[in-house]
Amino acid sequence: MENILNFTRHDLEIWLESKGIRPFRAGQIFKWLYIRQVDTFEQMTDLSKDFRKTLEDSFYLQRLFIEDKQISADTTEKFLHKLSDGQHIESVLIPEKDHFTLCVSSQVGCAQNCQFCLTAKGGFVRNLNVCEIIAQIRDARYYLIQKKIDPLKLSNIVFMGMGEPLANYKTLIKALEIITDSDYGLKFSSRRVTVSTCGLVPKITQLGLDTGVNLAVSLNATTDKMRSRLMPINKKYPLNELLEACRTFTIKPRNKITFEYILMKGVNDTKEDALRLVKLLDPIKAKVNLIPFNGYDKSGFKRPTKKEISDFLQILLDRNITAMTRKSKGDDILAACGQLKAKLY
């Protein structure tokens, strides 16, 4: 028996046809799952009892178990989810001025071994299934309903949680199909969905062909020597290959690729680094998110001073690079960029 959240609407249409059931029923089922947020097939009251029994005999429907929840001083909320096999992941609900953003995990752990990232310290366990990705989002909206907040206020999704999304590509694409299903699914606009990668070059190109979502690239260095030290993926896909994939990435006319640059004191925060960054990004429709390093115990890296951060940013701005310093939310509960590790504290 399979979790019905693993099925895209198209998958469900094919399954229904195999049972001799008209495929338009898939839209009805999706509406119950993602708009009305039911927990059982019995609650799908515009379907016949026999049909509901067929669904019940063929699928199950399950929410993620929240083993722990933490609330930051800035009201960011981090959820520790226990999966059916006992593994754990985390998701983060981030309050913005007039909406919420959910930071979603795509794997249990991560295999990329980026030296500054806490998630990498635990190694890689497994890929998430479609249902485990989708449930993070579906359940976050249900959580807002319980708090008497309009669930559609959750309007932005970022795949920046645990794991490398492009290393779980087939699952990611199916999840994105449900997330951006504008008729019956989760109804997120593709322009409000961002997939972040450490630089899996072939999949970057494929993502642009397969979807209309935003791309964010975790860059973090301006030379191959430093980037290979910080991010081992660079040994396989060095900067010239990564940036070429970005130059040819399929994006909508007004969109830009986001380059995330974690500033680490004495590592990648010099004037020379800033000038090299300008040169690297010059031919690309780019915007830069500068992220002052978010510390954790035994990290080995430090955050630059406010002046050093400001000086680095100003060099980019003076040379017409769209850039900003991103305020990390939830760092007091290890919910900020690079801090997720999915353990009880």
> Coil, strand or helix: which one is 74?
coil
Residue 170 CB partners (closer than 8 Å, separation 6+): none
337 part of the active site: yes
> Coil, strand or helix: which one is 11?
helix
Angle between helix 169-179 and helix 201-210 axes, rounded to 10 deg? 30
For residues 259 and 46, what is the distance between their CA atoms, to the nearest angstrom? 47
Residue 80 near residue 69 (C-beta atoms within 8 A): yes
What type of residue sits at position 199? G
13 part of the active site: no
Angle between helix 271-281 and helix 239-247 axes, rounded to 10 deg? 40
**Tokens found for residue 108:** 């249990």
For residues 62 and 5, what is the distance between their CA atoms, to the nearest angstrom? 9
Tell me whether strands 124-127 and 286-292 are parallel, antiparallel or unpaired: unpaired
Phi, psi of 189 (to 5 degrees): -70, 135
Catalytic residue selected from 13, 90, 132, 164 = 90
**Tokens found for residue 195:** 């997939």
Based on the number of CB atoms within 10 Å of its own CB, is 307 exposed (0-12), middle (13-18) or buried (19 or more)?
exposed
Q: Which residue from 232, 202, 205, 207 is spatially nearest to 220, judged by alpha carbons?
A: 232
Catalytic residue selected from 114, 117, 246, 337 = 337
For residues 190 and 156, what is the distance between their CA atoms, to the nearest angstrom? 9
For residues 293 and 328, what is the distance between their CA atoms, to the nearest angstrom? 9
Torsion sign over Cα 154, 156, 162, 167: positive
What type of residue sits at position 45? T
Q: Which residues participate in catalysis according to the annotation?
A: 90, 337
